[in-house]
Amino acid sequence: MPSCELCGKTSEKLTKSKIEGAVLKACDECAKMGEKVKKPRKRTKTRSKSKNRHSRKRKEEVLRPNYGKVVKEAREDKKRSIAEVAKKLKEKESVVKKIEQGSLKPDKTLASKIEKEFNIELYTTPAVNDVSETGGDNRKATLGDVAEIKD
């Protein structure tokens, strides 16, 4: 007669049960306990609360007022045509044009594509924005410098 590896009770039918990380052949009663042990481990989900705080912070980021100029200058710096950029971003040329004219605000998804494409920042937190405004020309920063600012 097999016996439960947890309580030692002999039983006809033993269930393989994961108890505290170990898989044991347990009787019905202990198998139930195994499930109970397992559940509290999933409580690590409470950690997501701190993640929410982070995303809330990101929401404070605002589109810089001169985003159109920033995009246009970055594009001209790289000697790219609107058509090329539109194709790369998988957007219509008219969308890129309107963004450069400042008549269309790119949402964060599109803005981040543009940011990556030209290594510029369109959405900034107000504090960061102040710094770059007084700090002068961001475009002249080296790739390394810009990456550092982003971090």
Phi/psi-derived region of residue 115, left when phi > 0, alpha when psi is between -120 and 50, beta in every other case: alpha
When the beta carbons of 19 and 120 are compared against Zn ion, the nearer one is 19
Cβ atoms within 10 Å of 143's Cβ, excluding its own: 8
CB of 20 to Zn ion, least distance (A): 14
> Is residue 14 part of the contact set for Zn ion (CB under 5 A)?
no
> Is residue 19 part of the contact set for Zn ion (CB under 5 A)?
no
Joined tokens for residue 11: 């039983």
CB of 4 to Zn ion, least distance (A): 3
CA distances from 75 to 20, 55, 87, 88, 106 (A): 57, 29, 13, 12, 16
Stretch that binds Zn ion, among 6-14, 47-55, 89-97, 106-114 (CB under 5 A): 6-14
CB of 18 to Zn ion, least distance (A): 14
- The CA distance from 55 to 51, in Å, is 6
> Is residue 147 part of the contact set for Zn ion (CB under 5 A)?
no
**Interface residue list for Zn ion (CB under 5 A):** 4, 6-7, 9, 27, 30
